[in-house]
Amino acid sequence: MPEFKFLNYAVDGGLVTITLNRPPHNVLDIALMEELNHALDVAARTNRPRC
C-alpha cells in the first residue's frame, strides 16, 4: 500500500478510501493536489473500477 504525506489511503475489500489529512483545515494546495492525483492514479492501476 502506498504511503502519502497529506492523505490517508486505505483499501478494504476492493474499496479504496482516500482521506485528506492536512490539519487543521485540509487546505487544497499544489502539494496536496499532486498527492491526491497520484493516489487516484494508484487506485485506478491497482483496483478494478466497479459500479
pLDDT score of 41: 94
Dihedral class, residue 28 (left if φ above 0, else alpha if ψ from -120 to 50, else beta)? beta
Per-residue pLDDT tens digits of the chain, which is 51 residues long: 789 999 999 988 888 999 999 998 888 999 999 999 999 999 988 866 565
pTM, entire model: 0.82
Task: Report d(CA 32, CA 18) in Å as an integer.
Answer: 12
The cell numbers describing 45, all together, are: 492501476
pLDDT score of 32: 95
Dihedral class, residue 31 (left if φ above 0, else alpha if ψ from -120 to 50, else beta)? alpha
| Domain boundaries, given as residue ranges, for the chain | 7-46
